[in-house]
Structure 1
Amino acid sequence: MMQLERQKKILDYLNKNRKATTKELSQLLDVSATTIRTDLNQMDKEKLITKTHGGAVYNDRSLDNIELTGRAYIFDERALENRKEKEAIASKAIKLIKNHMCIYLDASSTCYTLGMKLSGFTKLTVITNGINLALALKDVPGITVILTGGIVTSVSSSIEGLLGEDLLTKIHTDIAFVSARGFSVENGLTDFSIYEADLKRRCVKSSAKTIALIDHTKFNTTSISSYASLDDLNMVITDFGLSEHTKSIYENAGVNLVLAKEV
Structure 2
Amino acid sequence: MGEAYGRPITQDGLTLSQNERMEQVLRMLESRDSVQVAELAEVFSVSEVTVRSDLSELARRGKVARVRGGVRALQRGQSELGFDLRLRLESDRKQAIARAAAAMVGEGEAVALDSSTTAYYLAHELRSKRELVVVTNGLLIAAALADAPGITVVVTGGTLRVSAMSLVGDLGADVLSTTRINKGFLGARGLSLERGLMDLNPDEVRLKQRMADACESVIGIFDSTKWHRSALLSFVPADRVDAIVTDSAAPADEVAAWRAQGVEVVVAEVAGRGRSPVRARDLHRMPPPERGVA
TM bucket normalised to smaller: 0.7 to 0.9
Q: What residue is the counterpart of 2:64 in the other structure?
A: 62
* Residue 193 of structure 2 is aligned to residue 185 of structure 1: yes
Which residue of structure 2 lines up, in the alignment, with residue 114 of structure 1? 122
Contact 2:112–2:183 (CA under 8 A) maintained in structure 1: yes
SS of the equivalent of 2:197 reads strand
Cα offsets for 1:150-203 (capped at 9, x unmatched): 111111111122222221111111000001111112111111011111111111
Q: Note the C-alpha offset of 1:70.
A: 9.2
- Distance verdict in 2 for CA 1:207–1:177, change over 3 Å: same
How many angstroms apart in 1 are the aligned matches of 2:244 and 2:267? 9
- Does the alignment pair 1:211 with 2:219? yes
Counterpart mapping for 1:76-87 below 5 A: 76-87=84-95
Instruction: State the 1:103 CA deviation.
Output: 0.6
Q: Secondary structure at the match of 1:262?
A: coil
2:195 maps to a residue whose letter is N
Decide which of 244, 256, 261 is 1:248's aligned counterpart: 256
Q: 1:219 to 1:170 in 2, by over 3 A?
A: same
Change (3 A) 1:162 1:178: same
* In structure 2, distance between residues paired with 1:111 and 1:72: 17
Deviation at 1:251, TM superposition (A): 2.8
Verify: 1:73 aligned to 2:81, yes or no: yes
Q: Is the 8 A contact 2:243 2:265 kept in 1?
A: yes
Partner in structure 1 of residue 135 of structure 2: 127
Contact 1:49/1:62 (8 A) holds in 2: no
Unaligned residue ranges in structure 2 (runs of 5+): 1-26, 40-51, 67-72, 272-294
TM-score, reference length from structure 2: 0.68
1:171 alignment partner in structure 2: 179
SS of residue in 2 equivalent to 1:227: strand
Q: Tell me if structure 1 keeps the 8 A contact 2:185–2:219.
A: yes
Question: Does 250-259 or 179-188 show the bigger shift?
Answer: 250-259
Matched residues, number = 219
Identity of aligned residues (%): 29
Pick closer, same or farther for the CA change 1:249–1:70 going to 2, 3 Å. Answer: closer
Structure 1 window deviating more from structure 2 (91-100 vs 67-76): it is 67-76
* 1:43-58 matched pairs, under 5 angstroms: 44-46=29-31, 48-50=33-35
| Partner AA of 1:201 in structure 2 | Q
Q: What letter corresponds to residue 62 of structure 1 in structure 2?
A: V
For the residues of structure 2 that align with 1:92 and 1:122, how far apart are their CA atoms? 18
Q: Post-superposition shift, 1:131?
A: 0.9
Aligned residue for 1:168, secondary structure, equals helix
Residue type of the alignment partner of 1:166: D
Match of 1:143 among 142, 151, 157: 151
* Partner Cα distance (1:89, 1:186) in 2: 24
After TM superposition, the structure 1 stretch with the greater mean CA deviation from structure 2, 63-72 or 193-202, is 63-72
Identify if the C-alpha distance between structure 1 residues 49 and 69 changes in structure 2 by more than 3 Å, giving closer, same or farther.
Answer: closer
After superposition, the Cα gap between the structure-2 partners of 1:63 and 1:218, relative to the gap in structure 1 and judged at 3 Å, is same
CA contact (8 A) 2:93 2:270 kept: yes
User: 1:47 and 1:187 mapped to 2: Cα distance?
Assistant: 20
How far does residue 215 in structure 1 lie from its aligned partner after superposition? 0.9
Contact 1:46 1:73 in 2 (8 A): no
More helix as a share of residues = 1
CA contact (8 A) 2:30 2:79 kept: no
**4+ residue runs of structure 1 moved beyond 6 angstroms?**
none
Q: Work out the CA distance in 2 between the residues paired with 1:204 and 1:166.
A: 13
Indicate if the aligned counterparts of 1:185 and 1:220 stay in contact, CA closer than 8 A: no
What's the RMSD between the two structures over aligned residues?
2.5
Segments of structure 1 that go 5 or more residues without pairing to the other structure are 1-41
**How far did residue 120 of structure 1 move?**
2.6
Determine the C-alpha separation between the residues in 2 that align with 1:159 and 1:258: 29
